[in-house]
Structure 1
Amino acid sequence: MLADAINALACPVCRGDLSLRGAAVRCAEGHAFDVARQGYVSLLTGSAAPGTADTPAMVAARAEFLDDGHYTPLAERLRALVGEVAAPGPGIVLDAGAGTGHYLARALRPDDVGIALDVSKHALRRAARAHPRVAAVVADVWRALPVKDGRVEVVLDVFAPRNGPEFARVLRPGGTLVVVTPTSRHLAPLVETLGLLSVDEAKARRVEESLGGHFTEISREVLEGRMLLDHRAVAAVAGMGPSAWHVDSGALEQEISRLPLQVAVEMSCHISLFRKIA
């Protein structure tokens, strides 16, 4: 809930403290932000860039695919890593580009508070219900985050944009950034068959370079597994990611209909841990 994280949030206009008063979040300077009846608050100033916020259809596809358990090994590994890197005692785990809050809800330790940031209000309607201690906040990861300096124990970035300077600012000294990126084998053979967006081999290196100056990479591992997907699951995984903005839905449906009833698909990703440079 928002009340659990309100002391860690900052006004996006003046960077002042925020308080939750009734159905609105306010600062001492009079800036006010309504809390939606679904439980999230928008701290986004201005509008998001076109093609960056997940649509209701994309959110529904993601919820269906994740709830069916296809990426459960990834969720379990993230939960284990948060337990390993976080300092003892209650902490704040921030998920940048959280979507429906699926990974964040499963990564929280018993006394942790979660902050789910995403630019899609449709996704955050689900994130607000994902866990009783998750605060769902509309924000653009590419801009200044509406979070106070040094308040966060762990930042999760799962298949999402990365803002190194802002991640470093909100993390406590010695805090950890967990970044998940797809390898070039991810979702093979669907990438070629359905014309989905591909991933180049140098992505992990480029991620490390983009965070240089703010973080030091302390470990990197590859998590892989084979999924057996029916046509419904194939449609969901194709429709939940950035490829949904580029693939014609009618053509995609036709291509899926030509696939075998069960398709063996690779889940393959890098999980990198970065320590904030003091």
Structure 2
Amino acid sequence: MSRRAQFLEVLGIPTEWIPRRPPAAPEGGTVEADLPAVMAAEPETAEEAISMVAQASVDMDAVEAADVFDVVEPLAELLPPAIVDAPLIAPVPDRAAAIAAMDWPALDAAVAACEACGLCSTRTNTVFGVGDREAEWMLVGEAPGENEDLQGEPFVGQAGKLLDNMLASLGLRRGRNVFIANVLKCRPPGNRNPEPAEVDQCEPFLKRQIALVRPKVIVVLGRFAAQSLLRTTTPIGKLRGTVHSYEGIPVVVTYHPAYLLRTLTDKARAWEDLCLAREVHDRAGAQA
């Protein structure tokens, strides 16, 4: 089927038939003059073309029954080729590709206005992230909790204070030489685990943040964040102690600060993880 035939089929217009021997032209005129006046002007847009084709028709009542008919080019032949040959449906930009091209201001605005999943209906604030946007260290958590949702900043409250102490042990400080973000930018109701579809919708935002920051090391906090970022179901106990990779950037996994508040015995293991991250960072700096 030709593109012109496809064009008319989409419009719901059947193939047109005209007599083998066209009717005589009226006195002082031409056969073309009998076509609807709407076809006299050349359309400039696809919308005008659709309207013109819809109004154009052949008066079949004027044709005698004894005439023999042939199938001829459809009415789309009357349209400029540039309009007929154009895509019938404008391509929709890929969301992930569009996000991957954003700079910081555009990315910040896109997160604030995002309604890609149902979490937009229950959030108080989006939690974009905080810190040095050219930092060599990046920390990634799971999702905002109640306090984060209210304040629009990741890791606040008691877990945030513990994280700040963990950063201080590495010579880092919130807002100065580290960037902190979450897998999700909106709080799941009741602090439940994020749904896979929610992670899928938010992943392009985090991926772009990592690409813009270009850290030398990423420290992932907690089982869910680690499994989401690394796309694995391996338990956190087996992910710790090994250097992983995300988009070519080394990744070290450790426990979430909220978990450490409940399980003090694992603080020593978390310190081991931070020491590993420091070694990875130092090696990356030496190779730069």
Q: TM-score, normalised by structure 2?
A: 0.30
Higher RCO, 1 vs 2 (CA within 8 Å, ≥6 residues apart): 1
The structure richer in strand per residue is 1
Which one has a bigger Cα radius of gyration?
A: 2
Q: Which has the larger helix fraction?
A: 2
